[in-house]
Amino acid sequence: YYFGHPETVTIPRYIEGVENVCCKGTFIPDEFREALLQAEAFGLLSDQPINVKGYEVTPLDFTASFVQVMIKRVLSSGLKTPVGGSVMIKVTGERDGEPVMYQYAGTARMREGTATPAAVGAEMLAKNEINKPGVYAPEGCVPPKKFLNSLIGREGFGDVFITVQEKLTGEII
C-alpha cells in the first residue's frame, strides 16, 4: 500500500538522476492491516474533530488510543504475534544504457529502524561528520556510506540483505 513519506519529494531533490520515488508499506499480521483499512473506510483516521459528550475529539486520536488498548489485550491473551517489522528499498534505473537494480531489505524492531538511525545521525553531527550549514533532509547532508556502515555495524540492529542486479560484461570474478 502507498503511504505518505517525505522521501517521495526529498530524494529526487537531492539525488541527481532520480525521477520517481514511491513509498509502500504494510502491517503484520494481516488482520491488523485489514482492521486499519476498515478504520480508514469508516472515517476513524480523520483528523477532523467531532463532539463526543461535550468534548472535541478527532477520530484519529480515539483510534490511536484504542489501538494501544487492543495491543495490550492481544499481547496479554498469549496470542503469538510477530515482533518487529521490515523494510525494503528497491532502486531501478540504467547505467551506461543498461538496466540495473539495487534492492535493500532489512528486519528490525521499531527501535532499531527509527531511533538507532536518528542516534547515528546525532553522533555524526557531534563528531562534525555532518557539517553542512542549514536545514536539509537526511539525503541532502548525511554521507550515505559512512552512515550505513555505522548503522549496519551496530550490535542488535537487525538483519540486512542487499541484492544487486546488473548486466555483466566480461568475465565473472
Residue-wise pLDDT tens digits, 25-39: 666 666 777 887 888
Global pTM exceeds 0.85: no
Question: Residue 122 corresponds to which cell in the numbers above?
Answer: 546525532
Grade residue 156 by pLDDT with cuts at 50, 70 and 90.
low
Contact 100, 94 (CB under 8 A): yes
Q: From start to end of 5-95, where are the E strands?
A: 50-52, 55-57, 85-95
The partner residues of 88 in beta bridges, in order of sequence, read 105
Candidates 24, 28, 160, 33; CA nearest to 83 is: 28
pLDDT in tens, 103-132: 777 666 666 777 888 899 999 999 999 999
Candidates 27, 19, 169, 162; CA nearest to 97 is: 169
Pair type for strands 85-95 and 55-57: unpaired
The mean pLDDT of 67-77, rounded to a whole number, is 77
Grade residue 142 by pLDDT with cuts at 50, 70 and 90.
very high
Answer yes or no: is pLDDT of 7 > 70.
yes
